[in-house]
Structure 1
Amino acid sequence: MILKFFKNIGPGPLIAAAFIGPGTVTVCTLAGVNFGFTLLWAMVLSIFATVVLQEMAARLGIVSQKGLSEIIREEIQHPVVKVLAIILILSAIVIGNAAYEAGNISGGALGMETIVGNVLWQIGNLNLNVISLLIGAIAFVLLYIGNYKVLEKVFVFLVILMSLAFITTAILTQPNLTAIFKSIFIPKAPKDSILSIIALVGTTVVPYNIFLHASLAKTKWTSKNDIKSAKKDTLIAVVLGGMVSMCIIISASAIQKEAINNAADLALGLEPLFGSFSKYFLAIGLFAAGVTSSITAPLAAAYVASGCLGWQASLKSKRFKAVWMVILLLGVVFSSVGFKSIEIIKFAQVANGILLPVIAGFLLWVMNKSSVLGTYKNSKLQNFFGLIILMISIFLGLKGVLSVFELI
């Protein structure tokens, strides 16, 4: 039974691992510290939206045996619109992922630094963060092996490790269960919380994950009969990932600390209350989050670039390897020389929330094309849920832009 379950595990854990990165830990920590349990409803909304959109992406990959960017390039007939769409997707996903990569690696390093301290390697006037270089090396080896099954097993292990770490930390805070359930089912938006709500949505419903899932689903499954397995895989992994994010908010709510400068402060804030035990769990969780996200961001960028430019989307392809190597290298360089800031990570999550309506719009358009999906195109109910998610993401995106420019 257990062996059969593990055999049927697909890209779901990779998708969960991609959205529980250091950016998520940072955003959830800030949400918990600033607003307590109040924004847990936003996480529930995000989990639902992620399940709906990722199921569509997986179904698209299995039925068409193509990635989303590849289909967009083929289906848009107008040459000007096609070029604009490709430029938009490439700039948003590839360039954006390079910035994310620095945050992912820095966040993973923060986890280990809470245990071993800051380990620097001095070359002339340059101080390089050794832990950042180590995370970059681990990501490089796993991606260079180019074996999907190896990646899958590593991610399942890391997601389970990460889940246990953050769930244990939340339990150690002994939270008020009645207050948690109230916050889950009764939506409230306290003063100055709109950017935090957008960041929570943006850090969970990750636009590049939609591209990644379609590409990985066609690698894992080749028969339309596998759609049921893909749905189950997506549901279990995303719900588990969402629970981890909620546990981080719950843990952070217990912190009596005025200034939170980074995600590692979550561990430091818990230490006086619960001893070093919770610090170690949290450090392992942060490190696992950093490693997993530092692999998925370059991988997604490579799939998107290959689809947009008509290259072969294979882990063994030289062009494919070149894209993820560039993204990984930029992340390692920026992270190891100290390019890390909580404001940059938070801004990136808000930008993600604003980009989401565009990518979700492309996905919904494709999911209704009989020429691509035949009888497996969206049902009326799937379109209904998809349109609700699209409208909510447009509303939050507009509010986010207005809030950033202080127009509301």
Structure 2
Amino acid sequence: MEASKSQGLFKTANGASLEEINSSVKVPKDASFWKKLFAFSGPGALVAVGYMDPGNWVTSIVGGAKYGYLLVSVILLSSLIAMLLQYMAAKLGIVTQLDLAQATRSHVNKPVGIILWILTELAIMATDIAEVIGGAIAMNLLFNIPLVIGVSLTVLDVLLLLLLTKLGFRKIEAIVVTLIAVILLVFAYEVFLAKPDLGATATNLIPHTKIITDGGALTLALGIIGATVMPHNLYLHSSISQTRKINHDDPAEIKEAVRFSAWDSNIQLTGAFIINVLLLLVGAAMFFGHGDGLDTFRALYNALQDNKLAGAIASPILSMLFAIALLASGQNSTITGTLTGQVIMEGFIHLKMPLWARRLITRLLSIIPVLIATIMYGGKEGALDNLLINSQVFLSIALPFSMIPLVWFTSSKKIMGEYVNSKWITALGWLAVLILTGLDLYGLPGLISGWFN
């Protein structure tokens, strides 16, 4: 019961996180392991989409095109760190019944809370920029829809999300899982046709010194790791882990919820790891040795139907499947980005407004800079792709402000009671913070330089 007592430390927060869906999913009491796992499965999928969003696509494929299978170990390391931090985020929400924004706000004064909200909102905008751009470019490639119109159409995602929320949170989870399956099947098919070297793939699961000694490989490795764990995912998971209805007066139910949430998260993040590896394998098997210039979505789309680049398997069908997967990825991430915007707005500044207005404002904040860039540079090849890459500067700045409180809260006996992190989990958590923060700070000067160029 220590955790129940510790929850009193946080009760300055303003209501339940995502109140309209909090504790909305019933969990069977006396059921088999698999039935309970199914009941708890879903939040992990919404989190996993952040690890396979359009912002990671170019980096993974270009990594394969330029360095073959060398960077597979970097994707593995990123995924393991993600599993650790997302486990902490889910546990924080389940045990304290508060999301990371609410917990952080309860430990700072109002001015600091506002500053943190603005910083986190900018990080969400930076993340959402990738999803908006990915969706708009996919619509342009598939249906020849002008980029300005495609960017504007992404507002409709909010209406879709509102509809799904009315039908129940499980509907949101179902559509996200379906879109993830589309992405997985598309790239599994393309990798099957490409016939990558599976032996080299397995060998490169162990890091090679070339990743450090080769400047280009190191830069791509920094991009893969530094942009993988995004601030918004930690806030989102700490909130949606509370969608399952459990008795918080029963320690056994809390422990069970934490355990099954960890299963859900790790399974879904394993899927994200597989998809990211598939992306790299597409680049390695099809374009290694002649992948220069494949640094935009359109260039990749064109390359998949170019016999000189993709070889005998090149075809318009492969390009179309790539664009469909890109559209699915953008749709997935816009849903989760909108939910996260609501979480931080309520958690940090306790802002109350109608549900549709909160979500619409969050979406518009992300669309405005993309629209401006599209109108100003829409005719320039790669302009939106450059905006996508340069937007990562906000993620680099905001990341420590979410990771550090998360590890600190979940490692505090006073806050978590009997559910506190073990010593080795705490040690790994702080090590992950040091690695990710260090890598982001290492790459920050280059990001800022590119942002202003």
Tell me the TM-score normalised to structure 1 length. 0.86
- Equivalent of residue 17 in structure 1, options 49, 55, 74: 49
Contact 1:165 1:285 in 2 (8 A): yes
Letter in 2 for 1:291: Q
- Equivalent of residue 282 in structure 2, options 239, 251, 261: 251
Tell me, yes or no, if structure 1 residue 240 matches structure 2 residue 278.
no
Contact 1:144 1:321 in 2 (8 A): no
Contact 1:207 1:355 in 2 (8 A): yes
User: Where does residue 95 of structure 1 map in the other structure?
Assistant: 122
Tell me, yes or no, if structure 1 residue 69 matches structure 2 residue 101.
yes
CA–CA distance in 1 between the matches of 2:303 and 2:42?
Answer: 36
Shift of 1:148: 1.9
User: Where does residue 302 of structure 1 map in the other structure?
Assistant: 342
Shift of 1:45: 0.8
User: Where does residue 79 of structure 2 map in the other structure?
Assistant: 47
Contact 1:302 1:323 in 2 (8 A): no
CA–CA distance in 2 between the matches of 1:391 and 1:241?
Answer: 23
Contact 1:10 1:220 in 2 (8 A): no
CA–CA distance in 2 between the matches of 1:386 and 1:107?
Answer: 32
Letter in 2 for 1:23: G
Tell me, yes or no, if structure 1 residue 217 matches structure 2 residue 248.
no
CA–CA distance in 2 between the matches of 1:259 and 1:366?
Answer: 45
CA–CA distance in 2 between the matches of 1:178 and 1:157?
Answer: 31
Answer with 1 or 2: which has the greater Rg. Answer: 2
CA–CA distance in 1 between the matches of 2:119 and 2:183?
Answer: 28
Letter in 2 for 1:159: I
- Is the alpha carbon distance of 1:63 and 1:178 closer, same or farther for their aligned partners in structure 2, counting shifts above 3 Å? same
- Is the alpha carbon distance of 1:26 and 1:143 closer, same or farther for their aligned partners in structure 2, counting shifts above 3 Å? farther
Tell me, yes or no, if structure 1 residue 171 matches structure 2 residue 192.
yes
Tell me, yes or no, if structure 1 residue 281 matches structure 2 residue 300.
no
User: Where does residue 160 of structure 2 map in the other structure?
Assistant: 141
Letter in 2 for 1:361: I
Could you tell me which runs of 5 or more consecutive residues in structure 1 were left unpaired when the two chains were aligned: 121-127
User: Where does residue 364 of structure 2 map in the other structure?
Assistant: 326
CA–CA distance in 2 between the matches of 1:246 and 1:221?
Answer: 35
Q: Deviations over 1:346-374 (max 9, x none)?
A: 23335424533332111111112334321
Letter in 2 for 1:91: I
User: Where does residue 393 of structure 1 map in the other structure?
Assistant: 436
CA–CA distance in 2 between the matches of 1:395 and 1:39?
Answer: 19
- Is the alpha carbon distance of 1:319 and 1:136 closer, same or farther for their aligned partners in structure 2, counting shifts above 3 Å? closer
Which aligned segments of 4 or more residues in structure 1 are displaced greater than 6 angstroms?
Answer: 1-4
Contact 1:303 1:320 in 2 (8 A): no
CA–CA distance in 1 between the matches of 2:334 and 2:360?
Answer: 16
User: Where does residue 251 of structure 2 map in the other structure?
Assistant: none
Letter in 1 for 2:137: L
User: Where does residue 152 of structure 1 map in the other structure?
Assistant: 173
Shift of 1:392: 1.0
Shift of 1:402: 4.8
Letter in 1 for 2:368: L
**Higher mean displacement: 35-44 or 91-100:** 91-100
Partner SS for 1:341 = helix
Contact 2:37 2:260 in 1 (8 A): no
Partner SS for 2:215 = coil
Shift of 1:267: 3.1
Shift of 1:375: 0.8
Shift of 1:20: 1.5
Letter in 2 for 1:46: S
Shift of 1:331: 6.7
Could you tell me which runs of 5 or more consecutive residues in structure 2 were left unpaired when the two chains were aligned: 1-31, 248-253
Contact 1:37 1:250 in 2 (8 A): yes
CA–CA distance in 2 between the matches of 1:317 and 1:66?
Answer: 19
Shift of 1:245: 1.1
Contact 1:60 1:367 in 2 (8 A): yes
Tell me, yes or no, if structure 1 residue 362 matches structure 2 residue 389.
no
Shift of 1:325: 4.2
Contact 2:392 2:447 in 1 (8 A): no
Partner SS for 1:364 = helix
- Equivalent of residue 303 in structure 2, options 269, 283, 300: 269
Letter in 2 for 1:265: A
How many residues in Structure 1 have an aligned counterpart in Structure 2? 391
Partner SS for 1:205 = coil
Tell me the TM-score normalised to structure 2 length. 0.78
- Is the alpha carbon distance of 1:111 and 1:318 closer, same or farther for their aligned partners in structure 2, counting shifts above 3 Å? closer
CA–CA distance in 2 between the matches of 1:328 and 1:403?
Answer: 23
**Higher mean displacement: 191-200 or 153-162:** 191-200
Shift of 1:130: 3.6
- Is the alpha carbon distance of 1:332 and 1:393 closer, same or farther for their aligned partners in structure 2, counting shifts above 3 Å? closer
Shift of 1:194: 3.4
Contact 2:226 2:436 in 1 (8 A): no
Tell me, yes or no, if structure 1 residue 83 matches structure 2 residue 114.
no
